[in-house]
Structure formats: C-alpha cells, structure tokens
Homo-oligomer: A and B are copies of this chain.
Amino acid sequence: MKRALLGLTIVMCIGFIQAAPESDSGKPEYTSDNHLLPPKNLREWIFLSSGLGMSYTPGSADHQMFTNVFVPQWAYSEFVKSGKWPDKTIFVVEERGSETKGSINKVGHFQTDLMGYGVEVKDEARFPEKWAYFNFDESSKSAQANPKAACWQCHEDHAAVEHSFVQFYPTLKPVAKKFGTYKQAAENP
C-alpha cells in the first residue's frame, strides 16, 4: 500500500488539508512571500474526471482513494476554445476516501470524507518553470511551491497537454486533438 500511495502522491501531488480553501477568484493568489493560498468553492468549478486508486508505480492499494480533478470555469472555457491552458490556470485534485458497504450499496466503491488537496498552477511571470505544484497540510494557510524534481518533472515528462494529464480527462482529449495540442506519445507507458 505504501508504494501505491507514494506513487499517487508523486503523480497527483496531493496535499493534506482539512481546512476550507480560502481564495475564490478562480486564479492563483499569494501571500507577500510568494506562498500560494488554497482555492475556495472548487465544487463550483468544472469537473474533469475522477480516478480510484491511481498510481504510476506498481503495487497493491488496499485503501484506495478517489481523486476528483477540477479547473475554474474561466480556464475551462478558454481550453475548450483553444486546446491550451491560459496563464493563471489552477488545477485542484481533491482526494476522498472510498467505501463499498454503506447504505444499500454492496459492490464497487463510493466516495466519502475529504483526505486532502493538491494544487497545480500555471503562472508564467511568477515561476521560472511556468508551472508550480503545492501541498497543504492541516495547519497551513498557504504553501510554498514543491521542488522541481517532484511533481513538476513528472508532469513535464508525461502530461499530454502542457503540464496537464489530459490523457486521463476523456472530455478534454478530443478538444486537444482538434487543436493539435495533444501529445500522443504521452499515452505510451
């Protein structure tokens, strides 16, 4: 399980916060010392897709978590028109527990409590590498960008559209292909 969780963490760059996110502009906001504030009202953003127990490293996942990916409406609208992510795009990966037995459900998995968030932003003027990745723990009100060797490098190497894993977002995949921004090679293992 540890290996699977490690993989999930590397891939999705999930943070663990219990507090409600704090910014609701749909664009990244920072403290005076360049730390990202967590987004707010992300349930009103556009849902891209969800996964269950996804990992890029082999291993069993005995406590699989759901991952729900959201982008703000304004960024989604721009992507649909261009196949590109505008500057100031934010992605949030919401991580939730899963259960099988509950109410009248007997098979499969449904979502339960919030486990954390990971945040990815495109901010070309602020970050030399254009994209940056953040985790939040329970007590943090803001977060410093993660080292490039973690999330950034994996997204650089394997994402189908810029730094986004559009290969796992089935409604955006045809959009990117239409605009010629989809890297087909990202579908290779």
By a beta-carbon cutoff of 8 Å, the part of chain A in contact with chain B is 4, 7-8, 11, 43-44, 46-47, 49-61, 64, 66, 68, 70, 73, 76, 96, 98, 101-114, 158, 160, 165, 167-168, 170-171, 186-189
Contacts and interface: CB of A to CB of B under 8 A. Distances in A.
A114 B170 CA distance: 8
Nearest to A3: B107
24 contacts: A8-B108, A11-B104, A47-B47, A49-B110, A50-B50, A50-B68, A51-B110, A52-B66, A52-B108, A53-B107, A54-B105, A56-B104, A56-B106, A57-B107, A58-B106, A60-B107, A101-B189, A102-B168, A102-B187, A103-B165, A103-B167, A103-B189, A110-B168, A112-B170
B64 A108 contact: yes
A178 B112 CA distance: 18
Nearest to A168: B110
Main secondary structure of the interface of A (DSSP, over half): mixed
A108 B44 contact: no
A47 B43 contact: yes
